């Protein structure tokens, strides 16, 4: 009788009761999750993806920090599909991983390719899982550029350079490189290469002589890398998640959550993108892409 006489009031009361019930259930779940109970919502493995050429470490560092400070994340998996990239960003990721393993286990899962800078990042973790056919290794540093001197001569263009020092235009694409310049760059590349070797020695706890013996830029399959001590286990992403979860103390079924990239205003993204492109192609075209950890 009440619903017939006051249908709108009946609907409002029913809707309010449903809403209050939903809020109560959600509050209960949040409370259980924050009290350290054994409910599954409180024990997850966080997954961070590193895809493509490594040019910027900001999002990976942000995700590592977020997962490191989240009590519900018990372990972290780095899913790497990268041929390598810039030296600086690869080193930044490695350093952040080394900071993270002090409080949480980190396992690297190598996808189709995790070479050079991609492997550099993986080497900082507690363990590495790769597929038998994963392309990895390529432990080395490369610096290259294209010389256009002959082309400019043919079309009659004469470059004019004013510089403050002998090496200020080193790597110029409009003239031959001198022996002094070549020796300087070779020394620089060798120094950075030794930094790469040292990172693997630290992260993998390997003898330096063994690392140096294979740090000649060669690519390896996941199976070969395991035989050489660069990889711990053969398996896929699910195997890496399982291993990380057990290392993190999770019992039973393991739940996962993917990281969210740090939000950047669209205008700032456009400005940064165009500015980076301008600097790379205009100010220093002789070192296009910089010096890289990348496959041969």
pLDDT recorded at residue 159 = 86
Question: Would you say 120 and 199 are in contact if contact means Cβ atoms under 8 Å apart?
Answer: yes
Which distant-in-sequence residues (6+ apart) come within 8 Å of 109 by Cβ? 77, 78, 79, 80, 129, 130, 236, 237, 239, 240, 241
Question: Would you say 91 and 60 are in contact if contact means Cβ atoms under 8 Å apart?
Answer: no
pLDDT band at residue 40, thresholds of 50, 70 and 90? Answer: very low
Question: Would you say 182 and 147 are in contact if contact means Cβ atoms under 8 Å apart?
Answer: no
Query: CA separation (Å) from 230 to 118, 213, 251?
Result: 13, 12, 28
Question: Would you say 58 and 268 are in contact if contact means Cβ atoms under 8 Å apart?
Answer: no
Q: Among the residues of the chain, which ranges form H helices? A: 2-5, 7-34, 58-69, 87-100, 117-122, 149-155, 179-204, 208-214, 222-228, 237-247, 266-278
pLDDT recorded at residue 5 = 56
Given a cut of 90, whether residue 1 has pLDDT beyond it is no
285: left (phi over 0), alpha (psi -120 to 50) or beta: alpha
pLDDT recorded at residue 55 = 92
pLDDT recorded at residue 24 = 65
Given a cut of 70, whether residue 280 has pLDDT beyond it is no
pLDDT recorded at residue 26 = 63
For 64-96, the pLDDT digits (tens) are 999 999 999 999 999 999 999 999 999 999 999
Range from 22-26, 118-122, 211-215 carrying the lowest mean pLDDT:
22-26
Report the largest interatomic distance among the alpha carbons of the chain, rounded to a whole angstrom: 100
DSSP 8-state symbol, 142: B
Cβ burial, residue 182 (10 Å; 0-12/13-18/19+): exposed
Q: Could you give the domains of the chain? A: 40-293 (3.90.226.10)
Q: 116 catalytic, yes or no? A: yes
Give the active site residue among 58, 163, 168, 251: 168
Q: 58 catalytic, yes or no? A: no
Give the active site residue among 109, 116, 172, 294: 116
pLDDT (average), residues 238-267? 86
pLDDT (average), residues 247-259? 94
Which distant-in-sequence residues (6+ apart) come within 8 Å of 195 by Cβ? 87, 91
């Amino acid at each position: 009788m009440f619903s017939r006489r006051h249908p709108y009031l009946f609907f409002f009361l029913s809707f309010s009761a449903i809403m209050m019930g939903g809020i109560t259930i959600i509050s209960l779940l949040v409370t259980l999750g924050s009290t350290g109970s054994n409910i599954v919502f409180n024990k997850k493995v966080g997954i961070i993806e590193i895809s493509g050429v490594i040019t910027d470490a900001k999002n990976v560092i942000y995700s590592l920090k977020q997962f490191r400070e989240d009590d519900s994340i018990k372990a972290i998996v780095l899913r790497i599909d990268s041929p390598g990239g810039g030296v600086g960003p690869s080193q930044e990721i490695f350093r952040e991983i080394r900071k993270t393993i002090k409080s949480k286990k980190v396992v690297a899962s190598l996808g189709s390719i995790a070479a050079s800078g991609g492997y550099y990042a993986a080497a900082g973790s507690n363990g590495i899982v790769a597929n038998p056919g994963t392309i990895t290794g390529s432990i080395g540093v490369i610096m290259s550029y294209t010389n256009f001197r002959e082309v400019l001569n043919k079309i009659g263009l004469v470059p004019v350079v004013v510089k403050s020092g002998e090496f200020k235009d080193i790597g110029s694409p409009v003239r031959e490189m001198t022996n002094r310049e070549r020796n300087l760059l070779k020394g620089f590349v060798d120094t950075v290469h030794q930094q790469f070797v040292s990172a693997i020695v630290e992260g993998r706890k390997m003898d330096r002589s063994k690392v140096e013996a294979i740090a000649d830029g060669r690519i390896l399959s996941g199976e070969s890398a395991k035989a050489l001590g660069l990889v711990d286990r053969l398996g896929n992403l699910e195997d890496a998640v399982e291993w990380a979860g057990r290392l993190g103390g999770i019992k039973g079924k393991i739940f996962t959550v993917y990281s969210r990239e740090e939000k950047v205003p669209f205008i700032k993204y456009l400005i940064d993108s165009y500015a980076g492109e301008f600097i790379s192609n205009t100010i220093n075209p002789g070192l296009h892409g910089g010096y890289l950890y990348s496959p041969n």
